[in-house]
Amino acid sequence: MRRIVMIPLFLLLGLGFCFEPGGRWVRTGPVISRLSATTGKILLFGAPEGISTLRLEEVGGGWTSEIRSEAENGDLRFELEGLEPERRYRYRILDPHGSLLGRGMFRTAPRDGEGRVRFAAFGDSGGQPWFAYLSDSLGIRPVSWLADLLPGRGKQWDLAGILARREPDLVLHLGDVVYPWGKWEHYPEGYFLPFARILSGRPLVAAIGNHDALEHGAEPLLRMQGRDPRGVPRGNRYFDFAFGPVRFFCFDTITSSFEIGSPQIRWLRERLALAREPWKVVFTHRPFWTSSRSRMDAANRYLRDHVHPLLARYGVALVLSGHDHVYQRYRARDGVVYIISGAGGKSLYELHEDPGLLRAEQVFGFLFVEAGPDSLVARAETLEGRIVDRFRLTRP
């Protein structure tokens, strides 16, 4: 009889070693949500109550700083100021008792309009393995060592490993960060865990995808980026920033109107006119031109007919989109090159004939770009390391 009683006890103990609480309480390492030549912002989710401390020091220098932040519903936000351009800094985050919460190292951007930048771009990556749904139904998830052994993890893990080795200065996510519904509890497996090495050392900036918007209008995505889900769209859902020689424009084609005369179009026209960096790059979710699944969508047609002329008028060099799970590059239209890099790992879509296409590939992969004052060089690479496209843009 005693042996019969002991069997369930051992099973419960085993479950305790193999699983941890799931649900909406998400614990992460450090996340660099913003970085410029002189400022930055580092987030951490699932922190204990109380005031935590970030200790920052310049690598090879004598400069140090301490920044304190009090957790709000488990979220920590550290604002970094007084940094120097193109310098390396290392940091540690300590909880209220002095225990280590996370650490990392980053390099600040060049001064606006100067230097060089290496960035990667992809979309549609955040597939969920079968065991992620335990969090939905049972409120538990496998501990990290067990999850590493279980089959079924998404290809975003392979992609993240490749990008961590490439060490870009910046990563652009073109939307649909977490499938299928953009739930906060699915972010660990779809985003925080696979991209942890990237997130602790460089900004990963995301446009809103249609799957991201299914959960409270993309509130989880905005939260993980350190943006205000309840704030005005400008600066949260669409925004621009400089990183060295490139001015990037995040254009929201999912949750904000892009009709002519809308606040977003007025913002875009104003910011494009003011930009003085050598290169202007727009990134968004919906494609303007595509030969894949969304090729007949009315929203895409509107972008072609009404937004493209604005981009061409103000000298945008490159537009990056996701949504269709393939790689495509179109012939330049009025000086604007359109790329779809939506094969970040979820699945692959079909391709159709289109005379405007220069290159189309039905493969998982990403775009890698190196931009300087006078040239922009890009290559599309598969997860197996095969280069499927190369191109170079030069300033007139």
Instruction: Indicate whether 10 belongs to any domain.
Output: no
- Are residue 64 and residue 136 in the same domain, yes or no? no
Whether 230 and 339 map to the same domain: the answer is yes
Final residue in a domain of this structure, among 107, 134, 164: 107
pLDDT score recorded for residue 150: 74
Asked if residue 236 lies in contact with residue 228, where contact means CB atoms within 8 angstroms, the answer is yes
Asked if residues 136 and 125 have their Cβ atoms less than 8 Å apart, the reply is: no
Q: What is the pLDDT of residue 361?
A: 98
Same domain, residue pair 228 and 125: yes
Residues 317 and 198 in one domain: yes
> Helices (H), strands (E): how many in the chain?
10, 22
- What's the pTM value of the predicted model, to 2 decimals? 0.94
Q: What is the DSSP letter of 268?
A: H
pLDDT along the chain (396 residues), means of 10: 46 55 80 98 97 96 90 96 96 97 98 98 91 69 73 88 97 97 93 97 98 96 93 93 98 97 98 98 98 97 98 98 98 98 97 97 98 98 97 94
Do 226 and 373 lie in one domain? The reply is yes
- The residue range of the domain holding 229 is 117-394
Token pair of 224 as six digits:
């993980």
Strands (E) located in 36-131: 40-45, 51-58, 64-70, 75-80, 88-94, 100-107, 117-122
Show which of 78, 107, 136 is a domain's final residue.
107
- The answer on 324 and 267 residing in a single domain is yes
- Distance from C-alpha of 83 to C-alpha of 63, rounded to nearest angstrom: 10
Q: Name which of 222, 306, 321, 305 is nearest 268 in CA terms.
A: 306
Q: What share of the chain is helix, strand, coil (3-state, %, to 5)?
A: 25, 30, 45
User: Domain total for the chain?
Assistant: 2
From 175, 329, 165, select the one nearest 238 (Cα to Cα).
175
According to the model, what pLDDT value does residue 48 have?
Answer: 95
Residues 177 and 64 in one domain: no
Quick one: which of 190, 139, 137, 187 has its CA closest to 21?
Answer: 139
What's 103's domain CATH number? 2.60.40.10
Nearest to 369 by CA among 34, 110, 124, 117: 117
Provide the 8-state DSSP code for 306.
Answer: I
In a domain, 25, yes or no: no
Q: Is residue 26 part of a domain?
A: no
What CATH number did the domain enclosing 155 receive? 3.60.21.10
Residue 90 and residue 126 share a domain: no
Same domain? For 262 and 337 the reply is yes
Q: What digits encode the pLDDT tens for the residues 69-126?
A: 999 999 999 999 999 999 999 999 999 999 999 999 999 999 999 999 999 999 999 8
Which CA distances in Å does 183 have to 108, 141, 176, 271, 391? 31, 15, 11, 32, 37
pLDDT of 13 reads: 45
In this predicted model, what pLDDT tens digit does every residue of 155-207 receive, in sequence order?
999 999 999 999 999 999 999 999 999 999 999 999 999 999 999 999 999 99
Do 52 and 99 contact (CB within 8 A), yes or no?
Answer: no
- Is residue 12 a part of any domain in this protein? no
* Nearest CA among 65, 76, 73, 69 for reference residue 43: 76
Instruction: Decide if 8 is inside a domain.
Output: no
Domain boundary among 81, 107, 133: 107
Contact 122, 343 (CB under 8 A): yes
HSE, side-chain direction, 13 A CA sphere, residue 341? 31
Say how far apart CA 53 and CA 71 lie, in whole Å.
11
Q: Among candidates 24, 90, 22, 28, which has minimal Cα distance to 58?
A: 90
The confidence score (pLDDT) of residue 89 equals 97
